[in-house]
Amino acid sequence: MNLPTPARLCIGLGLVALALVVANQGLAPDVNPPLERAAVLASLLAVGLMLVGVLWTRALPEASIRSELSGDQGLVLTADLPEALAEELAWGSHMLLTASPAAVVLVIWRGQPLLRRGLLAPSLFVPGAICQRALERQSAISLVDLKLYPGRQEFDALLPGLPSVLVQPLGEDGLVLLGGWSARCFSRSDLAWVEGWSTKLRAGLERLPTRSEAPSISP
C-alpha cells in the first residue's frame, strides 16, 4: 500500500524515537526510577506518533484500483420514445458516465431495456433475484464488492467482471442499473444523485403506454 507522505513521516519518526528509547535504556550505566519514568513517557509518545500515522491512512484511504473491463463503448436507445424522455435518458446517462465512477448504465422499464450506455456486453441483461429484491423493498441495493456476494452471476450479462453494481428501482415497473469501474466506488452522493434522477425519470416513464396499448418495445 502506498502511504501518504505525512503518514510515512509520522510512522518513521515514531519508530526512530522508540528505537532511541530502547538504546538509551540499554546504554544507561544506572537504571533508576526517574529514567524508567522518562522511558515510559517517551515510549508512549513514540507509539502515539505511529498511531497518528496509521489513522492518517484511514482518513486518506488508498484509491480503489480500476478494473480492466472488456466491452465496446456504445449507446443503445429504444426507438419511438417521446423526444423529451429520450433527451432525459441521454442526458442522465451521460452525466452518470462522466460525473460518477459508472462504466455502464442500463435502464429497464416494464421488462424492456430502454437504454444501454457505456461499456456494452454482447448479451442482454435479464433481472434476477437481487433486482427483484430491490423492487420488493423499493430501495436501492449497492453491491460494493461483487465478488463477495452470492448470486453475483446475475450481473455477468450486464458486463462481465464488474467489481461493483448499484440497483435502483423505478417504482415497481423499472430499474436503473450502474456497473462501477472498481470496488466501493459509488459514494453517498452518487447514490443520492441516482435516486433523484430515477424519481424524475419515473414521472416521464409512467406516461408511456402499457404493452396492451402499444407494441412490445424491442431492445
Q: What are phi and psi of 127, to 5 degrees?
A: -60, 140
Alpha-carbon distance of 191 to 143, in angstroms, equals 12
Name the residue ranges covered by the structural domains of the chain.
Answer: 5-59, 72-205
- pTM for this predicted structure: 0.69
Q: pLDDT value at position 181?
A: 93
Q: What is the DSSP letter of 68?
A: -
Q: What are phi and psi of 143, to 5 degrees?
A: -95, 95
Most confident of 48-52, 121-125, 166-170: 166-170
CATH, domain range 72-205 = 3.30.450.40
Q: What is the DSSP letter of 124?
A: P
Q: pLDDT value at position 213?
A: 39
In percent, the amount of the chain with pLDDT more than 90 equals 53
Alpha-carbon distance of 51 to 207, in angstroms, equals 58
Q: Tell how far CA 178 is from the center of its chain.
A: 10
Q: pLDDT value at position 211?
A: 54
Query: What tens digit of pLDDT does each residue of 7-33 get?
Result: 788 888 888 888 888 888 888 787 788
Alpha-carbon distance of 42 to 7, in angstroms, equals 20
User: What DSSP assignment string belongs to 7-54?
Assistant: HHHHHHHHHHHHHHHHHHHHH-SS--HHHHHHHHHHHHHHHHHHHHHH
Closest by CA to 216, choosing from 121, 114, 124, 116, is: 114
> Which residues, 6 or more positions from 15, have their beta carbon under 8 angstroms from its beta carbon?
46, 50
The mean pLDDT of the chain is 86
Q: pLDDT value at position 37?
A: 83
CB-based burial, 168-205: b 16+ in 10 Å, e otherwise: bbbeebbbbbbbbbbbebbeeebbebbeebbeebbebb
Residue 71 confidence class, pLDDT cut points 50, 70, 90 = confident
Q: Are 99 and 136 within 8 A, CB to CB?
A: no
